[in-house]
A and B are shown apart, each in its own frame.
Chain A
Amino acid sequence: MSDSPRRDSPQQSRPAGKAPGLLGGLADFLDDRTGYRAVVRAALYENVPGGARWRYVWGSCLVFAFLTQAITGLFLWASYSASSQTAWESVYYIQHEMSGGWLLRGIHHVMAQAMVVLLALHLMQVVIDGAYKAPREVNFWLGLVLMMLVLGMALTGYLLPWDQKGYWATRVATNLAGLVPLVGPAIQQLVVGGPDYGHHTLTRFFALHAGFLPATLVAMLVVHLALFRKHGLHAKQPITRPDAMFWPDQVLKDAVAMLAVMAVVLGVILLPAVRTMLAGGQVDWGHVGAELGAPADPSQPYAAARPEWYFLFLFQFLKVFEGWGASGEFFGAIVVPGIVMGLMFLMPIVGRWKLGHRFNVCFTLAILAGAGLLTAMALNEDYCGLWADKAALADVRKLLDETEGDPGKIAAALGNDAATIAAFEKRAKKLEKIRHSESFLAAARQAEADAERAVELAGRPGKIPPTGGLELVRRDAKTVGPRLFERHCASCHAHVDPAAPGAAEILAKSSAANLHGFGTARWLEGLFDPKQVAGPAYFGNTAHKEGEMVGYVTGEMADADEWKPEEIRAVVAAMAAEAGLAAADTPAELVSRGRGLIADGERCGSCHTFHEKADDSGEVEYGSAPDITRWGSKEWLVGIIADPTHARFYGESNDRMPSFGKGKDGGAAILTREQIELVADWLRGDWYRPAGH
């Protein structure tokens, strides 16, 4: 400031003829000692050639967005804990348990995305108006650096919740960084904080996200703004209107734009909640705002892994180089983006030539349009299963199923006509795309369900164990049970509600009993139904199809003289009670009557043992059929899964079922005791349910 405090005396800067009030006096005092009025004046009274315009608001909006991120980020920092056992947990706590945490996180999450949009708008305005030209080259370059810093903050922030989504996306991003020649692997190891992902990945990403990057950004921003002021605003040409002052004309437009940005951000956060409210529903605020996936699990594949939407174009771009191997990824992820950034840095120099500016504008628009197109392609590939006409391709699906995709058989089925085959192949490709999308959509739905379940578990009265939320998920029968079943049981057993659409088809393909609802009265009623017992849901597809049980149910039990319907009902009730899965309103006398019938040596007891006492040597002498003492209970299920060949169960008449808990020749068992218990719990529907569900 060239003005000395003496010259800029209070008497001069105050409107003449008024005595200073208390506030005025204080302001005079401060100005006398700091000269702040001159600073404020310099900041506010900047000339805007041609007057204030809406097209100048983007820079201010970006500063505002950064300020919002700094404020919300600092408050988030006050509750966040960066380690692989506390990151997901603390974010869960912010989102679901802290008052207002959902809003705080929601604003930070959505504003980050708004910032990327604002960056694109600011860049477009600068390029189209030619504001990058001399003497503003350095400021343009600074702007590009600022853009990369913002994108870096977006990338590092994505990991911090340490959920499946952020974890897998970051693995991809850091692996791509490893492709840089020579220094790549070192860079990767430095960023990851070691050879593997863990505590130090989080501490480093957090330090980058909340320390190094924003500090650099602030420093660059100060220079960016100082240079902006030095060169003045680059006015849109030609100037047709009178000049105006930055304050209040342009500031008003800036402020209105900032308010609009904030309104959009709040709208994105609150719209789903408002919809729920309008529909008369109860809003669960923990689910409003930013998502939180299931805790990061390196052992659990995540097919729904995608980068944040503003990086989707890069993700899609890499697919162009599929089949090129590592050099393709290097080319797509590093060389091409590097060339694009390089050309952008050269814009001020290219712009000196006659057609240079036009080239720059076209180049920028082409890049943005290309990115938009790639984003649309990526979204289409993932979501086309939602709108594609699958029925039109039913014949393709059928032929592929019948021929098992064998080209020779397909050609034969199509009469070896080249044109027909080509048309078929085109449609087969389309079908392949839809199938791809369907599997992505299924993975996304599964991810959502897993996330929901993880949050449900974390909200248990016992809270999260010190080992972290992943432990809760890994020990949850509802989450792990179906996965284990799918991997180890589903190749023979079905698990499908018989009333569900398509159940018959699934049952026909199965080769062992349908275990859906195993142990419940509904399952038992089917077992004792002469029409069902030899069907695919029970023994129909097994070696026991013509066994004694099937013979007994279709013979004696079908005879109303031998088994009265209420006697069968009593046995059903008693067996469900053995499993501990009887309906709450089951009459006790029905159960005890059923128990008597089961133990009856003339009926069930002729083959099955039931609460048989051990003999003197401590052994139970089992019958020719499985022991049904506590049938369907966790203990019984764990026993039969661990070793169906045990005399207590099927003994030597066991049909194909492996002994999952018994290693062959002293080797390791297929499943651990804990895994078998998880499967048993899942089959029995025995898992944590929040109160009120």
Chain B
Amino acid sequence: MPHHDSRATHGPAANHGPAANHGPAANHGPAPRRNFLAEALAILCGGLATLPPIAAGIWAFLDPLGRRGAAAKFLPVADIASVPDDGIPRQFAVVADRVDAWTGFAAEPIGAVYLRREKGAEKVEAISATCPHAGCFIEMDQVEKCFRCPCHNSRFTLSGGIVAPSPSPRAMDSLECEVDGKGSIAVKWQNFYTGIAEKKVKP
């Protein structure tokens, strides 16, 4: 096949001259005319053929957008006896049934919460351990008697208030909290968007 030498004469440049006269291929037709119908059809068919895999892929890839976390509900966290009324927060694990895609976990720790009571108070305050700045896990600084986020050094008072200057745009997130007649503390477990001044619940 005499392709190597004839190729250079083809292509749009060939429009300008009778390319068929070049090279030894005797049965070359006339110079390629632009056949818009054929070109459009080729693009259309090729596009249509490639569409289903891409569409199916994107359809499945977007699946997480339609999913919502478990509805916020009150979860038993601790007994009131384990939260002395000394103003010092204590950390408790939040345990709940959790669904992770196909897996159902029964009674798994899903997060942590700080509980504290003011001196002589019956009321329990619950604060989420998730930093409102970037979502790190806030720790108690036993020496300085404050909360400190290990990631960017946001500091908070023991009641969760912001200590300026702080990378965190807002105070620690308080959670709704109930104590039943038997002294069992339940916390309404919620996640909030981080990095914004407003305390906004994640869906």
A residues in contact (CB < 8 Å) with B: 13, 41-42, 44-47, 49-51, 64, 67-68, 71-72, 74-75, 78-79, 86, 89-90, 92-94, 97-101, 103-104, 107, 111, 230-235, 239, 241-245, 247-249, 251-252, 254-256, 258-259, 261-262, 265-266, 458, 462-466
Q: Is the CB of A100 within 8 A of B63?
A: yes
Q: How far, in angstroms, from A266 to B56 measured CA to CA in the complex?
A: 11
CB distance from A92 to the nearest CB of B (A): 6
Q: Is the CB of B48 within 8 A of A259?
A: yes
**Interface bits B31-62 vs A (CB < 8 Å: 1, else 0):** 01001001101111110111011101111111
Q: Is the CB of A49 within 8 A of B54?
A: no
Q: Is the CB of B102 within 8 A of A255?
A: no
Q: How far, in angstroms, from A243 to B7 measured CA to CA in the complex?
A: 12
A75, A241, A261: the one contacting B49 at CB < 8 Å is A261
Contacts of B11 in A (CB 8 A): 41-42, 44-45
Q: Is the CB of A47 within 8 A of B3?
A: yes
Q: Is the CB of B61 within 8 A of A75?
A: yes
Q: Is the CB of A465 within 8 A of B104?
A: yes
5 chain-A/chain-B pairs, Cβ below 8 angstroms? A101-B60, A104-B53, A255-B43, A258-B46, A262-B52
Q: Is the CB of B54 within 8 A of A89?
A: no
Contacts of A100 in B (CB 8 A): 56, 59-60, 63
The chain B residue sitting closest to A103, CB to CB, is: B56
Q: Is the CB of B7 within 8 A of A104?
A: no
CB distance from A306 to the nearest CB of B (A): 27
Q: How far, in angstroms, from A98 to B67 measured CA to CA in the complex?
A: 10
CB distance from B49 to the nearest CB of A (A): 4
Q: Is B142 an interface residue when CB atoms closer than 8 A count as contact?
A: no
CB distance from B67 to the nearest CB of A (A): 10
Q: Is B10 an interface residue when CB atoms closer than 8 A count as contact?
A: yes
Contacts of B57 in A (CB 8 A): 71-72, 74-75, 104
CB distance from B177 to the nearest CB of A (A): 28
Q: Is the CB of B38 within 8 A of A252?
A: yes
Name B149-195 residues within 8 Å CB distance of A: none
Q: Is the CB of B60 within 8 A of A465?
A: no
Q: How far, in angstroms, from A74 to B4 measured CA to CA in the complex?
A: 38
CB distance from B27 to the nearest CB of A (A): 6
Given A41-B12, A463-B103, residue A104 in contact with residue B59 (CB < 8 A):
yes
Most chain A beta-carbon neighbours within 10 Å: one of B6, B14, B59:
B59
Q: Is the CB of B3 within 8 A of A232?
A: yes
Q: Is the CB of B27 within 8 A of A242?
A: yes
The chain A residue sitting closest to B41, CB to CB, is: A252
Q: How far, in angstroms, from A103 to B56 measured CA to CA in the complex?
A: 6
Q: Is the CB of A107 within 8 A of B56?
A: yes
Q: Is the CB of A255 within 8 A of B63?
A: no
Q: Is the CB of A64 within 8 A of B61?
A: no
Contacts of A465 in B (CB 8 A): 103-104
B residues in contact (CB < 8 Å) with A: 1, 3-4, 6-7, 10-14, 25, 27-29, 32, 35, 38-39, 41-46, 48-50, 52-54, 56-63, 66, 99, 101-106
Q: Is the CB of B10 within 8 A of A245?
A: yes
B60, B63, B103: the one contacting A464 at CB < 8 Å is B103
Q: Is the CB of A101 within 8 A of B63?
A: yes
Contacts of A230 in B (CB 8 A): 4
B4, B39, B103: the one contacting A89 at CB < 8 Å is B103
Q: How far, in angstroms, from A45 to B28 measured CA to CA in the complex?
A: 14
Q: How far, in angstroms, from A47 to B25 measured CA to CA in the complex?
A: 10
Q: Is the CB of B35 within 8 A of A248?
A: yes
B32, B60, B66, B99: the one contacting A75 at CB < 8 Å is B60
Q: Is the CB of B45 within 8 A of A462?
A: no
The chain B residue sitting closest to A79, CB to CB, is: B60
Q: Is the CB of A243 within 8 A of B29?
A: yes
Q: Is the CB of B63 within 8 A of A45?
A: no
Q: Is the CB of B49 within 8 A of A64?
A: yes
Q: Is the CB of B102 within 8 A of A464?
A: yes
CB distance from A671 to the nearest CB of B (A): 27
Q: Is the CB of B46 within 8 A of A255?
A: yes
Contacts of B10 in A (CB 8 A): 45-47, 245
Contacts of A49 in B (CB 8 A): 1, 25, 27
CB distance from A232 to the nearest CB of B (A): 4
CB distance from B128 to the nearest CB of A (A): 26
Most chain A beta-carbon neighbours within 10 Å: one of B39, B45, B48:
B45
Q: How far, in angstroms, from A98 to B54 measured CA to CA in the complex?
A: 16
Q: Is the CB of B6 within 8 A of A47?
A: yes
Q: How far, in angstroms, from A463 to B108 measured CA to CA in the complex?
A: 14
Given A45-B10, A64-B49, A248-B35, residue A243 in contact with residue B56 (CB < 8 A):
no
Contacts of A107 in B (CB 8 A): 52-53, 56
Q: How far, in angstroms, from A68 to B101 measured CA to CA in the complex?
A: 26
CB distance from B65 to the nearest CB of A (A): 9
B32, B56, B58, B61: the one contacting A45 at CB < 8 Å is B32
Contacts of B27 in A (CB 8 A): 49-50, 239, 241-243
Q: Is the CB of B60 within 8 A of A466?
A: no
Q: How far, in angstroms, from A669 to B11 measured CA to CA in the complex?
A: 84
Q: How far, in angstroms, from A466 to B29 measured CA to CA in the complex?
A: 68
Q: Is the CB of B12 within 8 A of A243?
A: no
Given A89-B102, A258-B49, residue A243 in contact with residue B28 (CB < 8 A):
yes
Q: How far, in angstroms, from A123 to B55 measured CA to CA in the complex?
A: 31
Contacts of B39 in A (CB 8 A): 247-248, 252
The chain A residue sitting closest to B98, CB to CB, is: A463
Contacts of B60 in A (CB 8 A): 75, 78-79, 94, 98-101, 103-104
Contacts of A254 in B (CB 8 A): 42, 46
CB distance from B1 to the nearest CB of A (A): 4
Q: How far, in angstroms, from A316 to B146 measured CA to CA in the complex?
A: 75
Q: How far, in angstroms, from A380 to B57 measured CA to CA in the complex?
A: 37
Q: How far, in angstroms, from A242 to B28 measured CA to CA in the complex?
A: 5
Q: How far, in angstroms, from A464 to B99 measured CA to CA in the complex?
A: 9
The chain B residue sitting closest to A37, CB to CB, is: B12
CB distance from A20 to the nearest CB of B (A): 16
Q: How far, in angstroms, from A225 to B46 measured CA to CA in the complex?
A: 19
The chain B residue sitting closest to A49, CB to CB, is: B1
Contacts of A232 in B (CB 8 A): 1, 3-4
CB distance from B3 to the nearest CB of A (A): 4
Q: How far, in angstroms, from A690 to B61 measured CA to CA in the complex?
A: 28
Contacts of A244 in B (CB 8 A): 29, 32
Q: How far, in angstroms, from A248 to B50 measured CA to CA in the complex?
A: 18
Q: How far, in angstroms, from A244 to B28 measured CA to CA in the complex?
A: 8
Q: Is the CB of A93 within 8 A of B102?
A: yes
Q: Is the CB of B102 within 8 A of A97?
A: yes
Most chain B beta-carbon neighbours within 10 Å: one of A234, A245, A249:
A245
Q: Is the CB of B101 within 8 A of A93?
A: yes
Contacts of A72 in B (CB 8 A): 53, 56-57
Q: Is the CB of A99 within 8 A of B59?
A: yes
B13, B35, B42, B106: the one contacting A255 at CB < 8 Å is B42
Contacts of B35 in A (CB 8 A): 248-249
Contacts of B63 in A (CB 8 A): 79, 98-101
CB distance from B132 to the nearest CB of A (A): 30
Contacts of A242 in B (CB 8 A): 27-29
Q: How far, in angstroms, from A97 to B49 measured CA to CA in the complex?
A: 26
Q: Is the CB of A71 within 8 A of B101?
A: no
Q: Is the CB of B50 within 8 A of A67?
A: yes
Q: Is the CB of B102 within 8 A of A92?
A: yes
Shortest 3 CB-CB contacts between residues of A and residues of B = A100-B59, A463-B104, A75-B57
Q: Is the CB of B38 within 8 A of A462?
A: no
Q: How far, in angstroms, from A51 to B25 measured CA to CA in the complex?
A: 13
